[in-house]
Amino acid sequence: MAKEATIRKHAKEELEKHGWAYWIPTATQWNSNDVFGIFDVIAWSGKEMRLIQYTSVHNINARKKKIMGFIIENDLKIPPGITIEVWGYEDRKGFTKASELKGNVVPFWVDLTCG
């Protein structure tokens, strides 16, 4: 299973390849480096912004549940122009699976194609 630093490196490469500006919070010794304790990356291109959680392919469902729990617990709605995504990384294959959260009233996950 790939380490977080490896997945982060490949996420940066993928975003740069498609021309996205991005911010990945730096890790601190005592606190989580995730945005809202959930997202690994904020990416921005034109009028679009993505909140991205990257993980191994095997942990995609756990990350989706965590994001949904956060949204429900805080009674949040996804603003126009913002997408929430989970990217699944697989050793020696790169990002092979991804899902995007859709819908504002009743959120649901949609699988995306990678590559």
* CATH number belonging to domain 4-112: 3.40.1350
Cα–Cα dist 84/8, whole Å = 17
Per-residue pLDDT of the chain (115 residues; tens, 9 = 90+): 668 888 889 999 999 999 999 999 876 666 667 888 889 999 999 999 999 999 999 999 999 999 999 988 998 888 888 899 999 999 888 888 888 887 665 666 777 666 5
Length of the chain: 115
Q: What is the DSSP string of 76-107?
A: --PPTTEEEEEEEEETTTEEEEEEEEE-SSS-
